[in-house]
Structure 1
C-alpha cells in the first residue's frame, strides 16, 4: 500500500530517530533559570510559579528547569509568604509547594539568573556570576522602563503583591521567547 500524499505516513526508523534526538536534547540537558530576590519568600517564588506555568502552557516545560532562591538565607526551608501564596491562588497559580532556598550551589551555574531588582544584580555579580547570565526580570517586558525592577512587597499590603504578580506576568512572555530561542538554537547531538 502506497503512503498517503497528505503526509500521514506511519513512523519510519528515520522519523523515530529524529524524534528521539529532539527529545533527548530537550530532556538530557534542560536549560536552568533561577529567579533571585532577597529572601525567596515573595517575589522570586511568585516569578518561579508564574513563569513555570507560562513555559508549560507554551509547550516548553520539559526544556527548562525553573527554580528560585534568595540572596539571604533567613527563610531557608520555609514556605512562600502567605500574601504571595494568596495572590497566586487568586489568579490560578499554586505556590503552596515552595520552600525557600539561598542562592548558591547549582543555582550559580544556571543558564539564566533573573534578578528581581538592581540590588540583586549587583550582589550576584559581586559573588562572581558572569554579567551576561544575569538579567533584570522587567528587561523581558518591552513596556517596562529601562533598569526597572520589581519592588519588594514584603513590608506593604496586598496591593504590592498584586503589582508584583502583574509585573512578573508582563515579563513572562519575554522569558518564554528567550527559552524558545535557546532551545531552537541548541546543537543537536547523536
Structure 2
C-alpha cells in the first residue's frame, strides 16, 4: 500500500481539503486499493474536529466527499508508514524536518512543488484569508500533478 499524508498547521482547512480531493482522484483512477490517503496537522488545537465549514462547503460544491475526516496531529508512526508526506507550506516542511526520525523513508515535499506555475510556493491558509476557492484550485491542480508523479514513480 502506498500511503500519502497531507500536512498543514491545524488539519482543518488545507490538508483535509487535499486529503478529500486526492482520495477522490485516487478513487476515480481506480487506485483506491493501492493508495491510502490521510491528513494531519503540525499542531494539536483541533484534534477530533471535522474540517472547517469553508473547506466542507467548497468540497461539497465540487462534488468531493469529506466524510470520515477528523483533525489529528502528525505522529512518529507517520514517518514510518507513509511513503509521501505532502506539506502545504514551508513552515510545515520545517516542522516535519525537525521531527523526522533519521531512519525515515518518507518523501517530504510541498504540494506546490509539483505545480510549475506556482514555483514551489505555499498554499495560503484560508483559515486566515477566507479564500477557499483559491486554495481549492491550487489543491486540485497539485493533487492532479502529485497523482501523476506517484503513478510514474510507483509504476501504477
Q: Same fold (TM over 0.5)?
A: yes
Q: Structure 2 residue aligned with 1:57, among 15, 24, 28?
A: 28
8 Å Cα contact 1:138/1:149 also seen in 2: yes
Which residue matches 1:188? none
* Cα distance in structure 2, aligned partners of 1:182 and 1:113: 15
Which residue matches 1:118? 90
Q: Which runs of 4+ in 1 moved over 6 A?
A: none
8 Å Cα contact 1:60/1:180 also seen in 2: no
Which residue matches 2:137? 166
Alignment RMSD (CA, Å): 1.7
Which residue matches 1:68? 39
Deviation, 1:100, is 0.5
Deviation, 1:132, is 6.7
* Cα distance in structure 2, aligned partners of 1:131 and 1:167: 27
* Cα distance in structure 1, aligned partners of 2:106 and 2:15: 20
Which residue matches 1:39? 10
Deviation, 1:172, is 1.5
8 Å Cα contact 1:37/1:44 also seen in 2: yes
Instruction: Flag structure 2 segments of 5+ consecutive residues without an equivalent.
Output: none
Question: Normalised by the size of structure 2, how large is the TM-score?
Answer: 0.91
Deviation, 1:107, is 1.5
RCO comparison, higher one (Cα < 8 Å, 6+): 2
8 Å Cα contact 1:58/1:176 also seen in 2: no
Deviation, 1:51, is 0.8
Which residue matches 1:78? 49
Instruction: Flag structure 1 segments of 5+ consecutive residues without an equivalent.
Output: 1-29, 186-190
Deviation, 1:131, is 9.2
Count of aligned positions: 153
